[in-house]
Amino acid sequence: MNRELLTQHIGAFVNRLKEEPEKFKTDWEERSGLIQVYGGYTKDVLLAIDEDGIFDYMSKLWAMLIWGNKHYVIDKIIEDNGLDNLRRRLAELIWGQTNISQRWDSFRGEIKGMGPATISELLCKTHPDEFMLWNRRAFVALDYLGVDNLPRYDYQLTGEVYDNLCQVCKTIAVELSNAGFSDTTLLAVDYFIWDELQVEDNLSRIHTSRPKKEAETTEPIRADSRFIHNDIRDKLREIGRWLGFESSIEKKVSQGSVVDTVWEATIGNMGRVVYVFEVQTKGSIDSLIVNLLKSLNNPAVQGVVAVSDQSQLDRIRSHADGVQNLRDKLRYWDYEDVARVHESLQYVNESINRLELVPEGF
């Protein structure tokens, strides 16, 4: 991390604190209120929480700003995971005794529909001295400061990576304290990131490498194939929703065929139209081909899409070319492109929802 650059921005931030004391007082009161609210969701409270309580717990998160109808989204999270399972997993994530790396990986591996922004925000607002808030803005800020090995895609944000990012933000908190800023929580670091470090706020930066010095070496981030699969599966569902489809995951579309993601729409006199997506991160390509073939037994299925990295897509294409009933309907989508499309649509929806043009729940 570029300490000189960090010191420069901390100086500017603290100077504004002196010039605009009321703004910073308001921000501090807001942070204190959030910490008090989320700290009230103790382990026992989470283990006993009902569906309305889950909505209250999650609907006010900044990560939920991308959604207009929050009830629909949160209801789907409960439906996909089961209420008992969801509250048990939330209690373990937030209040468990194992290290955060293990708890993070366990939660992400088992719970559908909740990404790093949502998970980290719950952790940060409950334990602000320990955990940072990760989102696009955090990437922009830390990338600008020259922090190495940042995750460009959500599936790269393993528990180990998240723990390392928390340590980076603790370093920033110490530097803020040394400069005279009294709030040393990582939630305060998030406010600093938003107020001071969005100097390169460009959507494309989260998916591009920053130039490296010749002597600089970095270790590639290794993502668990399960994380890639689940993250891309959930992103495909969200893309479908944003495009106006009825979108679901792990759905049976025909006898013997349960697929990762389905987009459905009713189009005038044509009736129901279905598009099927299968995410391949490891395993048998022949099994993927058979599953997609079975999905085509449903006459509503108008197209099937294999989603993977470029190397596996080439192998899938080679296998599918010999299957006449499949090759004309099969399309191919690189999962890094899926992540970029999701990021762009997320930004669009977040920006529009901030206008509050559509009433909540409409």
For residue 153, count other CB atoms closer than 10 A to its CB: 23
Tally of structural domains, the chain: 2
Q: What is the DSSP letter of 207?
A: G
List the structure tokens of 330.
């099969």
- Is residue 334 in a domain? yes
Across-strand partners of 304? Answer: 276, 330
Residue 353, φ and ψ in degrees, nearest 5: -65, -25
| Residue 176 and residue 142 share a domain | yes
For residue 270, count other CB atoms closer than 10 A to its CB: 10
| Residue 150 and residue 23 share a domain | yes
| Residue 52 and residue 138 share a domain | yes
List the structure tokens of 257.
């065929």
| Residue 185 and residue 274 share a domain | no
Is beta strand 301-308 parallel, antiparallel or unpaired with respect to 271-279? parallel
Q: pLDDT tens per residue, the chain (362 residues)?
A: 999 999 999 999 999 888 888 988 898 899 999 999 999 999 999 999 999 999 999 999 999 988 888 999 999 999 999 999 999 999 999 999 999 999 999 999 999 999 999 999 999 999 999 999 999 899 999 999 999 999 988 989 999 999 999 999 999 999 999 999 989 999 999 999 988 987 654 444 444 444 444 333 344 445 567 778 999 999 999 999 999 999 999 999 888 889 999 999 988 776 889 999 999 988 889 999 999 999 999 999 999 999 999 999 999 999 998 888 888 889 999 999 999 999 899 888 888 877 877 666 55
- Is residue 346 in a domain? no
How many whole angstroms separate alpha carbon 326 and alpha carbon 304? 9
| Residue 27 and residue 134 share a domain | yes
Contact between 58 and 119 (Cβ < 8 Å): no
Q: For the whole model, what pTM was predicted? A: 0.81
How many whole angstroms separate alpha carbon 164 and alpha carbon 160? 6
What is the 3-state composition of the chain as percent helix, strand, coil, each rounded to the nearest 5? 60, 10, 30
- Is residue 286 in a domain? yes
The parent domain of residue 68 ranges over 3-207
259: CATH: 3.40.1350
CA angle 209, 211, 213 (to 5 degrees): 135
- Is residue 353 in a domain? no
Q: What is the DSSP letter of 99?
A: -
| Residue 190 and residue 45 share a domain | yes
What are the Cα distances from residue 87, in Å, to 40, 45, 79, 91? 15, 9, 12, 6
| Residue 182 and residue 65 share a domain | yes
| Residue 127 and residue 8 share a domain | yes
Q: Residue 249 carries which side chain, given as an amino acid letter?
A: I
* CB-based burial, 51-78: b 16+ in 10 Å, e otherwise: eeebbebbeebbbbbbbbebeebbebbb
| Residue 293 and residue 190 share a domain | no
Contact between 106 and 164 (Cβ < 8 Å): no
- Is residue 200 in a domain? yes
- Is residue 352 in a domain? no
Maximum alpha-carbon separation in the chain: 71
List the structure tokens of 359.
């009433």
